[in-house]
Amino acid sequence: MKHLLASIIFFIVFSNAYSQNYYVPKYKITSIRDSTYINLKKEKENLNLEFLHFADNILYRNTEVESIKNLILKIKAGDKESVVTIVQTDSIIKPVLLRNNLSPNTLLNFTKRYQSIIDHEFWYQNISRAIECPKRKHGIPWKKIREFKKYKIKNGDKILEIGSGTLQFGYIIGRKRKNCQIYLNDTYKNALDRMYIGINIDDGVLSKNINKRKNKYFLVQGRETSTGAENIIFDKIIIRNSFHCFSHKKEMLESIKKSMDKNTILIIKDRFIKKETTDTSDYPSNVLEECPDLYKKEFEDILSENGFVNIYSKRLKIKSGKYYWLYKFKKKIP
């Protein structure tokens, strides 16, 4: 199997507000990019050698070859769910593990390490393209956001964008508004690293533009159940195309409410599964929404049941022909 590209940019430069779990980028990435790549490549090679040694020492019979090959491929692909299923249910693999005195945790540990490398590979490739591709403005994946005006973002707003992995929307806020405090959240440190590079791009164009308009950017690492910014009240909290990915929606909504007062607006843009009804008057019959596990009505119920009031909703047609919905909510005040 091809060697996997390893890990991602490592930096630890925090602002004085470290105790509040956010930090301000303070230095450029150019000087550390090459050395980081070398270190990450070594990490990848070491993991491959370790796993090769592990796999070569497993004793198995001819009748078990295909099952072992399948398991090894799943491990190297970082496919944890499939590995768990194979280890727990496969009638051929289980005897092999017993015969070799192997714990399933050993296999799962390798799987998680490979998954980490795969994630880092993805983000590193995006970083390289963002910095080097001349077709992208200032290294940021450029795409006009046609519905931007509907967010009603004002100069001086304090904004939290949850799941802002590409920096695209945060960048546009910085170009169109002044004196804003823009908090960019993601659960993946890899995504924050990529945003860090975007904010501190090599040619300095973005940084210069930010300084000119006096916008301030902060990076916030969240968790599956937390924004990481509960102690800050925002004017607007924005979730674009990622709410359906939340694995703990109720807990995340509770976390979001802690950053809202009576004036804060939660804005969510997303797509939904096509309605299970013969009434398609508000949906073109040929449009299949791409969110795999959330219906529009289900989404509305989740927000209502968890303390939010719907104050605005509109279906958006993007230039590509895809349909999205834009919602605005306020927190229910007892």
Q: SS3 of 41, please?
A: helix
Other Cβ atoms closer than 10 A to 328: 19
Sign, CA dihedral 273-277-283-286, equals positive
Q: How far apart are CA 67 and CA 92, in angstroms?
A: 7
In this prediction, residue 132 carries a pLDDT of: 45
In this prediction, residue 88 carries a pLDDT of: 83
Q: How far apart are CA 321 and CA 302, in angstroms?
A: 27
In this prediction, residue 320 carries a pLDDT of: 59
In this prediction, residue 283 carries a pLDDT of: 42
Cβ within 8 Å of residue 115, ≥6 positions away: 78, 79, 80
pTM of the predicted protein model: 0.61
Tokens encoding 140: 């940021």
206 and 138 Cβ atoms separated by less than 8 Å: yes
In this prediction, residue 11 carries a pLDDT of: 27
In this prediction, residue 233 carries a pLDDT of: 96
Encode pLDDT of 151-194 as tens digits.
999 999 999 999 887 677 887 888 889 999 999 898 877 667 66
171 and 100 Cβ atoms separated by less than 8 Å: no
In this prediction, residue 103 carries a pLDDT of: 85
Tokens encoding 133: 């591709």
From the list 73, 85, 68, the residue with the least C-alpha distance to 2 is 73
Other Cβ atoms closer than 10 A to 251: 15
- Please list, residue by residue across 190-226, b when 16 or more beta carbons sit within 10 angstroms of its beta carbon and e when fewer do: bbbbbbbbbbbbeeeebbeebeebebebbbbbbeeeb
In this prediction, residue 70 carries a pLDDT of: 87
pLDDT along the chain (334 residues), means of 10: 32 28 34 55 84 85 86 86 85 87 87 80 57 44 73 96 83 87 83 67 52 81 90 96 88 96 95 59 42 78 96 82 86 89
At 107, the amino acid letter reads: L
In this prediction, residue 123 carries a pLDDT of: 61
In this prediction, residue 259 carries a pLDDT of: 96
